[in-house]
Amino acid sequence: MELKYTKIVVYLRDGCDQVDMYTNYPCPFVPAFLPSQPPLRLSFETTKNKAIEYCKNTFGVMPEVRDIRIS
């Protein structure tokens, strides 16, 4: 099965930005309280304020953006 992303979320933070990619693969960890298996989530960090540009240039999509900066 080919790995594909179903959603990309960028978290703008005070330090490095974080990118979460949700995939079509099943998560290897499923807590007992969840009714179904969630998708595999892959995360990585980028230079501050560069995650949106990175996702556009690398994956060709505008990600969901969540600004969680305190300042």
Position 3 scores a pLDDT of: 93
The residue assigned the tokens 């998560």 is: 27
What three-state secondary structure class fits 51?
helix
Contact, 19 vs 63, CB < 8 A? yes
pLDDT tens track for 52-61: 999 999 999 9
pLDDT tens track for 4-61: 999 999 999 999 999 999 999 999 888 778 788 889 999 999 999 999 999 999 999 9
Phi-psi region of 68 (alpha: psi -120 to 50; beta: other; left: phi over 0): alpha
pTM of the full structure = 0.87
Sequence spans of domains, the chain: 5-30+38-67
